Structure 1
Amino acid sequence: MTYTICRHLCEESPRLGAMTLHPIAESVPRARRWFRKFIAPYEPACSIDDCVLMISELVTNAVVHSRSDEPWVVRVEWFREDGSLRVEVHNPGLPDAVRLRRPDADDAHGRGLLLVDSVADSWHAGPSRFGGTVVCFRMADAWPS
């Protein structure tokens, strides 16, 4: 898979949906349910199951690894970018803390970004426009151009 920068072109790319989640474990299944519900009317050609899996991993990472002295939320947004679907997960963590690991076979954790790297056409982590970090992925050919 390629590691490329997901552009923040909110003005040019229509936002199809968004959700704000509390940083608790129950937010992970909520993100899966809401994304399925709100993306369905747009009928993307890419695998919704793959997107839900990646969102689940990224929201889990945000809930487990992000910290802030202030109350915080996890934001998930999805955009149509030409024929692609771009999904962003924002949290208050530090962008430098996001890294792709290669866990050993017997490691119980550490496969979230490896999974995103394997399934998405591209992904990126960097500073969020809300402050903190954004991790986003792109699924190409979600809609005919």
Structure 2
Amino acid sequence: MTYTLDRYPCEESPRLGAMTLHPVAESVPRARRWFRKFITPYDPACSVDDCVLVISELVTNAVVHGRSDEPWVIRVEWFREGGSLRVEVHNPGLPENVRRRCPDADDAHGRGLLLVDSVADSWHADTSRFGGTVVSFRMSDAWPS
């Protein structure tokens, strides 16, 4: 399997980095490791652990819910926007299928977006510029404005 990772200098682009992952379970820990490794030099003030947790949930959702008749990948990109960090996770699923659920206590699944909602300062689902879905989250006060 081939995975790609791109880093971008902060002064040239608001995009700090990007990775392309295969839609397999092993991509979830890979996304956590790569994000942690490549965001650390930018020294964000927000919790990298919280970001990694949210990325883990969104990549898991992309693996589980992404669908295409063609071979596909998951794209993760992270951006500096003023003092905020914005992370996007793209997959070929349908944006209208992204919804926060209220699972019963004995439900085994359905808490991912509840967790995203409670950890991130904001999150949003929409149509991806690559086709399919993008779910993004923002961590405010990641850097001085």
Equivalent pairs counted in the alignment come to: 134
Rounded Cα–Cα distance in structure 2 between residues aligned with 1:123 and 1:142: 15
The letter of the residue matching 2:135 is: V
Runs of 4+ in 1 over 3 A off after TM superposition: none
Q: Does 2:54 match 1:54?
A: yes
Matches of 2:107 and 2:129, distance apart in 1: 33
Q: 8 Å contact 1:90–1:133 — kept in the other structure?
A: yes
Whole-Å separation in 2 of the counterparts to 1:103 and 1:25: 23
TM-score (norm 1): 0.91
Deviations 1:57-107 (A, max 9, x none): 000000011110000000000000000000000000000000000111111
For residues 1-145 of structure 1, what are the structure 2 equivalents within 5 Å? 14-145=14-145
Normalising by structure 2, report the TM-score.
0.91
Structure 2, unpaired ranges of 5+: 1-11
- Taking the aligned partners of 1:137 and 1:14, their CA distance within structure 2 comes to 15
Asked whether the equivalents of residues 13 and 81 of structure 1 are also in contact (C-alpha less than 8 Å), the reply is no
Amino-acid identity (%): 88
Letter in 2 for 1:97: N
User: Residue type matched to 1:20 in 2?
Assistant: T
Tell me the amino acid that sits aligned with residue 111 of structure 2: R
Task: Please provide the CA RMSD for this pair.
Answer: 1.1
Q: Which has the higher contact order (CA 8 A, sep 6+)?
A: 1
Whole-Å separation in 2 of the counterparts to 1:101 and 1:47: 25
Q: State the AA in 2 paired with 1:63.
A: V
Q: After superposition, give the CA deviation of every residue in 1:92-138 in whole Å (9 maximum; x if it has no partner).
A: 00000000001111111001100000011100001000000000000
